[in-house]
Amino acid sequence: MPTTAERVRTLAKLVGWPGEIVALPRASLPPHLRDAYQYTQDLAYDTSRIRNELGYKEMVSVDEGLRRTIAALRENPPAIDPAQYDYAAEDAALASRRISGLAC
């Protein structure tokens, strides 16, 4: 199962985004980028029964599914509220990373 970082890199590649992906400690993030969720739990599941008994298999690959989703979102983009972003705070968090030498 891919990590969150691997998923983000895959999405960046599929949309053709050439930017840098930077991981920062939660404490270094501006408040609007912090969420209340905990991502430390492992998720494990076994799909062998549905595959063996019902012959289930994926209709498309993960990458193809993502490509289709990206295309649909580009055709029907969600409404964006610019007020939910604080680019100055994000730039400051990145600058502090460079100053303190935090690794990505």
Q: Is 9 helix (H, G, I), strand (E, B) or coil?
A: helix
pTM: 0.69
∠ CA 24-26-30 to the nearest 5 degrees? 85
For the stretch 18-41, pLDDT in tens is 988 888 888 889 988 888 887 777
For the stretch 53-82, pLDDT in tens is 999 999 999 999 999 999 999 999 999 898
- Domain boundaries of the chain, sorted by first residue: 4-78
Whether the CB-CB separation of 91 and 22 falls below 8 Å is answered with: no
Residue 15: pLDDT over 70 = yes
Lowest mean pLDDT among 12-21, 36-45, 74-83, 87-96: 36-45
In whole angstroms, what is the distance from residue 60 CA to residue 56 CA? 12
